[in-house]
Structure 1
Amino acid sequence: MASSSSVAAVDTKPDALRQSRYHMKRCFARFTAKGKRLMKFQHLMDEIEQTIQDKVERSKVLEGSLGDILSATQEAAVVPPYVAFAIRHNPGIWDYVKVHADQLSVEIITSTDYLKFKEMIFDEDWAKNENSLEVDFGAFDTGIPSLTLSSSIGNGLSYVSKFTTSILNKGSESAKALVDYLLTLDHHGEKLMINETLNTVAKLQPALVIAEVFLSAFPKDTPYQNVEQK
């Protein structure tokens, strides 16, 4: 999810870069010098500190618009000559930008583009494969209260799980929506989660209990093929 305020902040980045172009070129040169890698916020700050050793000059850079953006950066994906930033200004509010290290040109990109760019660090062929799996959790946005506290950052999955569980525990009618959804998931006609033999809540619940008991007897690293036909 993106907000107009966060996008506006990102739009100021070209000006921020021009304010201290000399220092920024040195910083981005350092970011890309080690090749492909994923950098967290502290890594970025360490690199900037080593690049701009003069505290006064470094403060000028970090107190400007660029500093505001860097302070909200959660990670940066480096694939020379580009560095892509994942920026979170508020809980659940993300923006993504890609910067050319030599030209300092800035491009606002989508979350999909960022994830593909990030994947190039680890497997470039997979990142460029049009058949690679992409999971969109946007469906969870509807009807779920938004997180607003900074302390909620990093706890989104737990929150969604608790919220979903509370809905499902209200009764079989609520759980039926999940069963119906699981039945729709298929790939080239092959069911991915459950088939028609488990098409009701009453059938699925005991089957899950039995499956959990059965699988608990196997080591966690057991290949799927060893239990597929069970």
Structure 2
Amino acid sequence: MGFVDRGKGILQSYQIIDELEKVIQEDEGLQKLKDSPFSKVLQSAQEAIVLSPFVALAFRPRPGVWEYVRVNVYELSVDHLTVAEYLQFKEELIDGECNDNYVLELDFEPFNAAFPRPTRSSSIGNGVQYLNRHLSSIMFSKKESLEPLVDFLRTHKHDGHAMMLNDRIHSISRLQSALAKAEEYLSKFPPTTPYSEFQFE
């Protein structure tokens, strides 16, 4: 491949696609590669690290999922890489091959240990919704976490009248009991019943 012959470097996703199209145009026998599974896989490549005779590729097959491989373009062998191995290969572009066992590495993972991480690709782009669900699950799994909710609901007043909770509800257990009774009472009414018909009940 031409970019391997040119030596080391980094290719972005659009450059990878350009190189593939250039190779296909130069050789009519490779036209079938254009719509092949290989071409589709290569379109998910986000970056290529060229360090002859190897090319390391970072693939993003779907949001939130990354895979790394290293290809020997002369032997046509493929090896899977971990994130650390891929980054080390990338560093060799600048620093050259390093066999030092005492390379400084900083691990910032402990700072993120308690922070929720999306595990489904459907959560990508919906960070606020994901955090709301995470915080809600924590709040409702610990009763003491709900006390601020009761305080919040009791403070809402208009012209001196409580809007959300009256003075009889001052604990989580009372709120849960009142909600259960209200749900049972309201279930007897049709969904279209005006609020004015039961607001004083």
Q: Report the TM-score when normalising by structure 2.
A: 0.53
Larger RCO of the pair (alpha carbons < 8 Å, separation 6+): 1
Shift of 1:59: 4.8
**Which residue identity lines up with residue 104 of structure 1 in the other structure?**
L
Shift of 1:67: 1.4
Instruction: Name the residue aligned to 1:95.
Output: 67
Identity %: 30
**2:24–2:30 CA contact under 8 A, matched in 1:** yes
Residues 102, 92 of structure 1: alpha-carbon distance in 2 compared, 3 angstrom cutoff: same
Does residue 83 (structure 1) correspond to residue 55 (structure 2)? The answer is: yes
Shift of 1:64: 2.1
Residues 141, 86 of structure 1: alpha-carbon distance in 2 compared, 3 angstrom cutoff: farther
**Which residue identity lines up with residue 82 of structure 1 in the other structure?**
F
Measured in 2, the distance between the counterparts of 1:63 and 1:141 equals 44
Instruction: Name the residue aligned to 2:186.
Output: none
| 2:10 maps to which of 15, 28, 38 | 38
Instruction: Name the residue aligned to 1:16.
Output: none
Structure 2: gaps spanning 5 or more residues: 140-201
**1:91–1:150 CA contact under 8 A, matched in 2:** no
Residues 68, 49 of structure 1: alpha-carbon distance in 2 compared, 3 angstrom cutoff: closer
Measured in 2, the distance between the counterparts of 1:70 and 1:60 equals 15
Q: Report the TM-score when normalising by structure 1.
A: 0.47
Shift of 1:75: 0.3
Does residue 70 (structure 1) correspond to residue 42 (structure 2)? The answer is: yes
> What RMSD, in angstroms, separates the aligned Cα atoms of the two structures?
3.6
Bigger helix share? 1
**2:10–2:49 CA contact under 8 A, matched in 1:** yes
Bigger radius of gyration, 1 or 2? Answer: 2
Number of aligned positions between the proteins? 132
Measured in 2, the distance between the counterparts of 1:73 and 1:117 equals 16
**Which residue identity lines up with residue 107 of structure 1 in the other structure?**
D
Is the deviation greater in 98-107 or in 140-149?
Answer: 140-149
Instruction: Name the residue aligned to 1:106.
Output: 78
Residues 145, 107 of structure 1: alpha-carbon distance in 2 compared, 3 angstrom cutoff: closer
Measured in 2, the distance between the counterparts of 1:136 and 1:61 equals 42
Measured in 2, the distance between the counterparts of 1:142 and 1:62 equals 43
Measured in 1, the distance between the counterparts of 2:96 and 2:65 equals 28
